[in-house]
Structure 1
């Protein structure tokens, strides 16, 4: 049979990983060869034409079946099923997986049997059964080794790493990730599997707070996407991960730029599951900048895409002074989350909210739990978060000296992990601790260092809070003197003017004057309004 020029060019372009050219050349012909249809399906997928790719996978499957090449028919049915499931087409995806499994029973052992173990193992992971998932991924890996199938070996090794991490064997799991990534970087595996591995490794590393690996592999994924400019499916997820790292590094403007590109790319029909995460990330940065109406809109869109907008939305409500709403939302989330890693992501917000609504006992219990999780995970960033949370809780209990020690260690760890915003927040609490101990020089140094960082970030709510704490002009807002701040903090805890005078060793008349000045500067007229202001700006 004589090959047409378009088919020949399509095959050549596909082998050179020029997927857009391959797609155009294949599309120009009425293909009838199963291998060409398979390559056409891959080219369509890699250039973002997912619906067309699904049709082509189905055609390739049928041609292989007609040719009695059952292993390849299973292969096409598997990838079609995986694609449909990832798009939320559960019924169709499950149907194709069932067909693949039925056909696989008709042929002798082959690599495709290993591929079919992957969705079974993933289901075990979702059920929290890491031990059984590890066994299934190990069988898949062994079949990959037996048939020298690099894709199957990569998926099996990746899954084994994830299953070990689920069983809290983090060091062993990340070692397998590193080995898997070597195969990706050496281009031993196909682009579709390479993209899956990149995204899964980075997502898991961020989930377990392994920021060094997350940064390293995000950089590698960015380079891979840049080297393959025609690549579409993984580019959106890459942008989301890159935005997360940029946010952590304190490059908020660049992070917003990247995540906005991700939102546009991921939300194009038929849409991807990472879309909700992209909108949530944008909402979080807006919230930290004080752009609350924009943040609220991003959280709402994230919810439409299936991403729970918590704890960001609860923290937003807290910033708006809607304390009951914030407490109810974070309490519900805390009740739902059972997995320690998942709980580690919501407990800091839970403690922050509980402290500001005077639920000290609940805050203390959650702080202890977070410290315990951090001690087991051996992740510097999580330990920094836990120590910050503990320091904040101790400050609210007037245990200033132990709070100071926690906050010093927290700041050092945030600094080491290059967490710019979090480091600045730790310095604010350090300043408060020093001030309570009468060391105003050290307090001023901490406040000034934090203020410079927050100003560069554009973290308006934190700048406003710092202005109130210091009376300095990091931005143009109300200024309370240090003594007025002391009075406001005690007033907000429910103390009378007489009790405040006794605690500060000043006359009640002086306290009366300070309260009047506070009301005038804050443009309020009642103690309840002053209390609400202190809670809203986290001055307690």
Structure 2
């Protein structure tokens, strides 16, 4: 009677998601567990982070089913063994269990739900080999099998597989709709915990990949609640911390974001999955770079690389911030040649535009910005549209088209404001200010730049704050902008307006406007007087 009571308590604990109690109670019963209770023990062990105990329970369940002649039951245990082993990096052994399950199914009916589950392993094999068409077909077969058998776990997994592959096939709106449908079952509590955690993380990761920050934020909040409702939960908590950090970074809470990334790395280390920390470390490096802690950023990027995660374009942007524009351009050109697929490129292109413009590679920058705009229109995600508008504005300003730059910068400001992204809003305001200055609306330019400076100061974004201060001419003799100083120095060297325009890649009209501004700011009547002022005040 004691064992019966223990099993009843263990099952009740499992139903209320008290994984530790279920695990302890079932572990204490010895070798008398049947297949169903062994599956419960394996699941509980996995959810409290004891993968070894999970695998032992699954192996026992597999052997019981084989001995009982329950082939389909044995297939189910083999499926879970393959999944758990693959997730923890033992792919060869996991593949062996998947192959055994396929062999066991050879003499079984053609249409059984277990075949749908084994398609999951087939899907990930295709995905690992870059066989996207085959992976999409397999994902569709998983979903079809799930609908035939009314299996909520299989349906959530199949829709997730389909959704991600549709996104990688440049059908992002369709893919996101599939992911939303998968999340319906998860949010309704219809999906078992391991599948639910996997679908949560896949959904949020997909949203981050295409810069759909609104969806990512909503589902990150839901994932946090889901994790918090299970105090003993170990898997998925590292991913949850990373996603919380990403949303906090978007909202300008840089210190809190760094704490979440550190927490994610700690959780990965404790669970023995430290290699998964690469993304968290790369995100940490991005925040440190924005804050101006370049040494810490480089360390974080190096650590991310050591775990097999390439922290780009953040590392290239760090090179640029340190004044190594030539090296940054070389990295970006290599990445643009290597990275394929619109989803992957959408993550690279905004940083690439910034680097190329800084390196005066305007033709390449314009091509890259145009590509980004096309991808953003195709995806329809507001975050990516904001990035594309900002990049288009940066390129337009560099090409001496302040009217277009201003319209794009204002669009970027509007979109980032809707996403409550203060750092990005301030960057867009800087672009607005620079565009207004080119259009001779100095009062409005100063207003925009001052607002941006205030935000950068509040956020602790040191490099951006210093740029804004420079644009506001704090400490600059005569109140000249950086471009105006360049023009004045070329005038002092004896260059004509046409020669200055050629050297700075500007139009003659823009050079003339810069000279008019210089004369007004220095209160001088001519080129000769301006050069004399420059000599007297050591501007040359």
> TM-score scaled to structure 1, two decimals?
0.89
Equivalent position of 2:530 in the other structure: 510
Shift of 1:484: 5.1
Shift of 1:130: 4.8
Query: Once structures 1 and 2 are overlaid, which stretch shifts more, 505-514 or 362-371?
Result: 505-514
Contact persistence 2:265–2:274 (CA under 8 A) = no
Query: Once structures 1 and 2 are overlaid, which stretch shifts more, 174-183 or 431-440?
Result: 174-183
Query: CA separation of 1:89/1:366 partners in 2, compared to 1, >3 Å: closer, same or farther?
Result: same
Of 368, 376, 389, which aligns to 1:387?
389
Contact persistence 2:171–2:379 (CA under 8 A) = no
1:44 aligns with 2:45: yes
Equivalent position of 2:429 in the other structure: 427
What is the distance in 2 between the residues matched to 1:115 and 1:516? Answer: 80
Equivalent position of 2:290 in the other structure: 288
Shift of 1:188: 0.8
Shift of 1:196: 0.8
Contact persistence 1:128–1:166 (CA under 8 A) = no
Equivalent position of 1:405 in the other structure: 407
What is the distance in 2 between the residues matched to 1:347 and 1:249? Answer: 22
What is the distance in 2 between the residues matched to 1:491 and 1:353? Answer: 26
Query: CA separation of 1:316/1:490 partners in 2, compared to 1, >3 Å: closer, same or farther?
Result: farther
Query: CA separation of 1:500/1:423 partners in 2, compared to 1, >3 Å: closer, same or farther?
Result: farther
Query: CA separation of 1:495/1:66 partners in 2, compared to 1, >3 Å: closer, same or farther?
Result: farther
Contact persistence 2:212–2:384 (CA under 8 A) = no
Query: CA separation of 1:43/1:380 partners in 2, compared to 1, >3 Å: closer, same or farther?
Result: same
- Three-state SS of the structure 1 residue aligned to 2:270 is coil
Q: How many residues align?
A: 514
What is the distance in 1 between the residues matched to 2:68 and 2:487? Answer: 82
Query: CA separation of 1:174/1:514 partners in 2, compared to 1, >3 Å: closer, same or farther?
Result: same
What is the distance in 2 between the residues matched to 1:203 and 1:491? Answer: 50
Of 485, 488, 498, which aligns to 2:482?
485
Query: CA separation of 1:374/1:455 partners in 2, compared to 1, >3 Å: closer, same or farther?
Result: same
Contact persistence 2:173–2:379 (CA under 8 A) = no
What is the distance in 1 between the residues matched to 2:335 and 2:166? Answer: 26
Of 310, 316, 332, which aligns to 1:308?
310
- Three-state SS of the structure 2 residue aligned to 1:3 is helix
Contact persistence 2:234–2:271 (CA under 8 A) = no
Equivalent position of 2:22 in the other structure: 22
What is the distance in 2 between the residues matched to 1:53 and 1:489? Answer: 68
Contact persistence 1:87–1:273 (CA under 8 A) = no
What is the distance in 2 between the residues matched to 1:149 and 1:289? Answer: 48
Equivalent position of 1:154 in the other structure: 156
Moved over 6 A (4+): none
Of 239, 242, 246, which aligns to 1:240?
242
What pairs up with 1:155-304 in 2 under 5 angstroms?
A: 155-271=157-273, 274-304=276-306
Query: Once structures 1 and 2 are overlaid, which stretch shifts more, 13-22 or 24-33?
Result: 24-33
What is the distance in 1 between the residues matched to 2:380 and 2:75? Answer: 42
Query: Once structures 1 and 2 are overlaid, which stretch shifts more, 25-34 or 147-156?
Result: 25-34
What is the distance in 2 between the residues matched to 1:511 and 1:242? Answer: 55
What is the distance in 2 between the residues matched to 1:488 and 1:264? Answer: 50
1:10 aligns with 2:27: no
What is the distance in 1 between the residues matched to 2:538 and 2:56? Answer: 69
Query: Once structures 1 and 2 are overlaid, which stretch shifts more, 389-398 or 10-19?
Result: 10-19
- Three-state SS of the structure 2 residue aligned to 1:384 is helix
Query: Once structures 1 and 2 are overlaid, which stretch shifts more, 481-490 or 307-316?
Result: 481-490
Q: CA RMSD in A?
A: 2.4
What pairs up with 1:448-487 in 2 under 5 angstroms?
A: 448-472=450-474, 479=476, 481-483=478-480, 485-487=482-484
- Three-state SS of the structure 1 residue aligned to 2:494 is helix
Equivalent position of 2:521 in the other structure: none
Shift of 1:223: 0.8
Shift of 1:302: 0.8
Query: CA separation of 1:17/1:270 partners in 2, compared to 1, >3 Å: closer, same or farther?
Result: same
1:59-90 superposed Cα distances (whole Å, 9 cap, x missing partner): 32222222222222212222221222222222
Shift of 1:496: 6.3
- Three-state SS of the structure 2 residue aligned to 1:338 is coil
Shift of 1:258: 1.4
Query: Once structures 1 and 2 are overlaid, which stretch shifts more, 294-303 or 353-362?
Result: 353-362
Contact persistence 1:137–1:160 (CA under 8 A) = yes
1:361-403 superposed Cα distances (whole Å, 9 cap, x missing partner): 2112212211222222222221211111111111112122221
Query: CA separation of 1:232/1:430 partners in 2, compared to 1, >3 Å: closer, same or farther?
Result: same
What is the distance in 1 between the residues matched to 2:25 and 2:467? Answer: 61
Query: CA separation of 1:399/1:10 partners in 2, compared to 1, >3 Å: closer, same or farther?
Result: same
What is the distance in 2 between the residues matched to 1:297 and 1:103? Answer: 49
Gaps of 5+ in 1: 473-477, 520-526, 528-540
Equivalent position of 1:68 in the other structure: 69
Query: Once structures 1 and 2 are overlaid, which stretch shifts more, 3-12 or 191-200?
Result: 3-12
Gaps of 5+ in 2: 501-510, 517-525
What is the distance in 2 between the residues matched to 1:352 and 1:313? Answer: 13
Shift of 1:456: 1.4
- Three-state SS of the structure 2 residue aligned to 1:303 is helix
